[in-house]
Amino acid sequence: MKIVVLDGFALNPGDLSWDAVKALGDVTIYDRTAPDEVLSRAQGAQALLTNKTLLPATLINQLPDLKYIGVMATGYNVVDTKAAAQNGIIVTNVPAYSTDSVAQMVFAHILNITNQVRFHADEVRAGKWCRCADFTFSDTPQIEIAGKTIGLVGLGHTGMAVAKIALAFGMNVLAVTSKKQDALPSGITPVSYDRLFGESDIISLHCPLTPDTHELINSGSIGKMKPTAILINTGRGPLICEKDLADALNSGRIYAAGLDVLSVEPPTPDNPLLSATNCYITPHIAWATHEARQRLMTVVAQNLHDFIQGDDLHNVVI
C-alpha cells in the first residue's frame, strides 16, 4: 500500500518514531505540503495522512486510488467528508489524545494570569528584589483561585478534565452543557449562557466550533461579564470575535485573556490581540506535549493498521 504523510512535522518534529506507520506499507513522509503540491504528492496513494493540509472535494475527486484518509488530529474539518463518502473513502480521526495536556494548559494560563510567575522571576533576575526595601514585593495583583467561579462552555473530555482540576483547586464550577444535573459529578452546576457569563470569574471555552458558537465571545457576551473576568480559550480561535475582545481588554472591560488558539494560524501581524492589554497568547501548543503526541502517533498507526487488516475500525468519522 502506498501511504503518504502530507504534513508530519507538527506531530513529529524529530522526537518520535514513524516506524509503526512505515511497517504498514510504502510510506513517504513530508514535513509540510503546500496547497499546490498536494495533488502531485497524493497521486497513486491508497492512504493519506493529514493534520492541517486541506483535502477538498476538488482534490479528492482527482484521486481514484485513494481509499483511506487518516486525520492526525481530532478536528477533521480539513477533509471534505461528503466527497470522501461519495468516493467510498474511509476517514478516521484521533479523539481525546490531548485531553490532559489541554487541561494542563488551561491552568497554565490561569496561573500565569493570577500569579505572574515569569514576570516576577524576570524582575528578580533583573535585580529588583535585591533593591527592594521589604522582604517581598509584587508588581501585579496576586489572585487566589480557591473560591472563585469558573464557567466552562462545553463539558466534553477536555471540559470535564478542566472541571475536575478546578474542583481540586476549591473552585465553584458552572457549565453550559447538554448534560443534566443528575448526570454530572458533584460540584458542577449546569447553567445558561447568561448566568455563566454573569457569574464567572474565569470563563474557559471547550465547545466545538459550529454556526451557533462562531464568535460566541463578542461585545454582547463580554458586556455580561464581570470587569475582573478572565477568558481562556484552548478550543478554536473563531469562537471569539478578536476585535471585540481586544477592545474589551484595552478598555479594561474585562481583566485578562489567555489564548492558545486564534482565528488565523499563524496570525497575521495586524491581529489586534497580539498587542492587546493583558492578553497572553501561546502558539497552539496545548495539544503538543511529547506524551500527547506519542498517543496521537500510536492511534494514527493503529487506525491505519485496522483499515489495512479489515479489522473492526475505530474512530471512523464517515
Cβ-based neighbour number of residue 91 at 10 Å: 20
Residue-level pLDDT at 138: 95
User: So where are the chain's domains?
Assistant: 2-96+290-309, 99-281
**Residue partners of 160: CB distance under 8 A and separation at least 6:** none
Whether residue 203 contacts residue 230, with contact meaning beta carbons closer than 8 Å, is answered with yes
Instruction: Please state the rounded mean pLDDT for residues 70-95.
Output: 97
Tens of pLDDT, residues 263-315: 999 999 999 999 999 999 999 999 999 999 999 999 999 999 999 999 789 99
CATH of 2-96+290-309, one of 2.60.40.10, 3.30.450.40, 3.40.50.720, 3.40.1350.10: 3.40.50.720
- C-alpha 154/C-alpha 158 separation (Å) is 9
Euclidean distance between the first and the last CA atom of the chain, given in angstroms as a whole number: 21
Residue-level pLDDT at 290: 98
Least confident segment among 93-97, 301-305, 314-318:
314-318
Residue-level pLDDT at 318: 85
Instruction: Please state the rounded mean pLDDT for residues 90-102.
Output: 97
Residue-level pLDDT at 62: 98
Q: Is the pLDDT assigned to residue 115 strictly greater than 90?
A: yes
Q: How confident is the model at residue 70 (pLDDT cuts 50, 70, 90)?
A: very high
Look at the alpha carbons of 248, 117, 282, 293 in this order and tell me if their dihedral is positive or negative.
negative
Mean pLDDT of the chain: 97
Least confident segment among 124-128, 208-212, 250-254, 292-296:
208-212
**CATH code reported for the domain at 99-281:** 3.40.50.720
Classify each residue of 248-285 as buried b or exposed e, where b means 16 or more C-beta atoms within 10 Å of its C-beta. bbeeebbbbbbbbbbbeeeeeeebebeebeebbbbebe
Q: What is the percentage of the chain residues whose pLDDT exceeds 70?
A: 100
Instruction: Please state the rounded mean pLDDT for residues 106-131.
Output: 97
Q: Tell me, yes or no, if the two domains 2-96+290-309 and 99-281 fold the same way.
A: yes
Q: Is the pLDDT assigned to residue 87 strictly greater than 80?
A: yes
Tens of pLDDT, residues 5-35: 999 999 999 999 999 999 999 999 999 999 9
Q: Looking at the annotation, which residues are catalytic? A: 236, 265, 284
Residue-level pLDDT at 25: 98
Hey, which residues does 232 pair with through a beta bridge? 204, 258
Tens of pLDDT, residues 133-180: 999 999 999 999 999 999 999 999 999 999 999 999 999 999 999 999
Residue-level pLDDT at 311: 75
Q: Is the pLDDT assigned to residue 252 strictly greater than 80?
A: yes
- C-alpha 161/C-alpha 289 separation (Å) is 16
